[in-house]
Chains A and B, each alone.
Chain A
Amino acid sequence: MKSGSIGLLVVCVFMWTSLCTLMPTGASAAEASAPQEAPQETNIVLDTEVKENGPAYEIKQTIDKIIAQLRTIDSTSEWRANVTALVRGKFNFQVMSQGVLGPNWHRASVQERERFVELFALLLEETYIGRVREYTDQQIRFGTEQIRENRAMVDTYISMDSGAEIPISYKMLKHEDEWQVYDVVIEEVSLVRNYRSSYSGVLRKKNVSGLLDEMQSKIEELKQRHAEEDGSV
């Protein structure tokens, strides 16, 4: 009785499995083999057709340039400045800052807002630019690109050492005929929301200028740390 039901289960599972496996095989076999033949020089694999001057195209160009810069780390000392310039050109820190502060944006004075935008940009640079160099050789796959009026979302996937893929989506905004990133969503976690949530926690105990001071000292701390790292390498 018992072994009979287990046997039945196994048969069911097998049928189901073969059904599910065979169905996508025809369609995906071609796709699966395609990425391997793609040129490996940029590590970027395109799933969909990328239209020129569209959001995906623009973000791809920036990533290409950043990776090229990261490859020169050993030979030049200006890579950090160059990457910073590239990021500044593509990310709209004004919009990001406004999203991060949320309701507190209205409470802040104009000077505080300006200072926040500047500090937040610096902080993100110090936080992430050092980190991306570890991902220089990872493969990036581009997924779909959604455009709605002046906003867009571009899905990308980074292959990790373990074989897993990490989804990274760029939310973009069309500003004077140019697509600019205003949020990055990594594995369902929006960067702006993440900072917004933790900063609003900080702002419960402090006012905006207190937060600005804290950011300033954090930036200095990270700068010093990176200077030491660069010096020791």
Chain B
Amino acid sequence: MFVPRWKCSFTALPKLGLLLMLLVGCCFVFAPAVAASTSTSTSFPGTDESTTLPDSTPLATEAVYADPFVDDPFSDDLYGDGDWDEEWFDPLEPVNRAVFWLNDKGYFYLLKPTARVFRIVPVPLRSGVSRMFDNLASPLRAVSSLLQLKFAQAGVELSRLLINTTVGVGGFYDPAQNWWDLRKQEEDLGQVLGHYGVGEGFYLVLPLLGPSTLRDGVALVPQFYTDPLYWALHRDGYLVSKGVDAVNAVSLDKDTYESIVIEQLDPYLFVRDAYLQRRAGLVKQ
């Protein structure tokens, strides 16, 4: 029985990762002040600041600014220099761009061709497999809901897990949603941290895993332990299962990433903003 040996070398990996993340995090505690001072001096080098800015002219929609409802969906301003123009904090941009480039190559030369072959499998089968993987993430969503004291949500996720694992044949079908209208609750440990006021830290592009932040990256580590596959499979099996999950997901997707790369002026900035906006939105929920 060489099971423990496999487990041993594998469990050390996330711990090491956590340590590294924390170290990096400590290094960047002092970074914001430095970065802020440099960024303000270098902002808009292309536009000449000498041109007069007619920003003092009152706008017709001035009343929008005075919206007293902060959580109101309409509180963002339409025209102005409102609060949502703050730049995302990305001190590692050069490194992130390099990893982004690397992931991009991995996507186009490895993931995409494999996914294309995978498309031979009929859609119902592939979406079933996708739901099975999703079902395995139910414990994570339940635990995350629980940690945020969202008991009803945790209950929904647990019900989903129990119903879909049994009636739904291991999650291949989704009777919980179709028959009982129990919908997936998008929660993870990064959102738990965010819920308790932990900031994003800074934007991070992880190799293979894609866009993340310091907070969400750190949260990934304990997240391993909520994955039933992590406990059920050995290292190689686990990695293969994750690979199948990724390929299957890309095969079902309608080329979202390609479109972004083709259509956007700067795909890196576009993806960064989309990720951070989505995370901020999910934390707020």
Contacts and interface: CB of A to CB of B under 8 A. Distances in A.
A104 B179 CA distance: 50
Main secondary structure, interface of A, reads helix
Interface stretch (A59-67, A71-79, A204-212): A204-212
Given A21-B182, A99-B78, A210 B277 contact: no
Contacts of B41: none
Interface string A4-46: 0000000001101101110011001101100000000000000
A198 B254 CA distance: 23
A105 interface: yes
B159 A198 contact: no
Nearest to A134: B254
Contacts of A2: none
Contact of B181 (A24, A131, A173): A24
A231 interface: no
Contacts of B266: 198, 201-202
A206 B270 contact: no
A230 interface: no
Contacts, number: 155
Nearest to A98: B79
B158 to A, nearest CB: 5
Given A162-B131, A194-B273, A202-B269, A188 B282 contact: yes
Given A17-B155, A24-B180, A189-B281, A182 B46 contact: no
Interface string B120-152: 000100010011001000000000000000001
A174 interface: no
B262 interface: yes
Interface stretch (B13-21, B82-90, B221-229): B82-90
Given A99-B78, A106-B53, A161 B123 contact: yes
A130 B54 CA distance: 39
Interface string A139-172: 0000000101001010000001111110001010
Contact of B269 (A161, A162, A182, A197): A197
B265 A199 contact: yes
Interface residues of B, number: 61
Interface string A169-186: 101010000000010000
Interface residues of A, number: 67
A54 interface: no
A210 B45 CA distance: 13
A19 B155 contact: yes
A214 interface: yes
A89 interface: no
B264 interface: yes
Contact of A162 (B48, B155, B162, B252): B252
Contacts of A135: 254
Nearest to A210: B46
B113 to A, nearest CB: 20
Contacts of B262: 222, 225
Given A162-B130, A188-B282, A198-B270, 15 more contacts: A32-B179, A103-B85, A107-B51, A126-B263, A160-B252, A162-B131, A164-B184, A182-B78, A187-B281, A188-B278, A188-B281, A189-B281, A193-B277, A197-B87, A198-B265
6 contacts: A14-B162, A131-B259, A189-B278, A194-B273, A204-B43, A218-B265
Interface of B: 43-48, 51, 53-55, 72-74, 76, 78-81, 84-85, 87-88, 123, 127, 130-131, 134, 152, 155-156, 158-159, 162-163, 174, 177-184, 252, 254, 259, 262-266, 269-270, 272-274, 277-278, 280-282
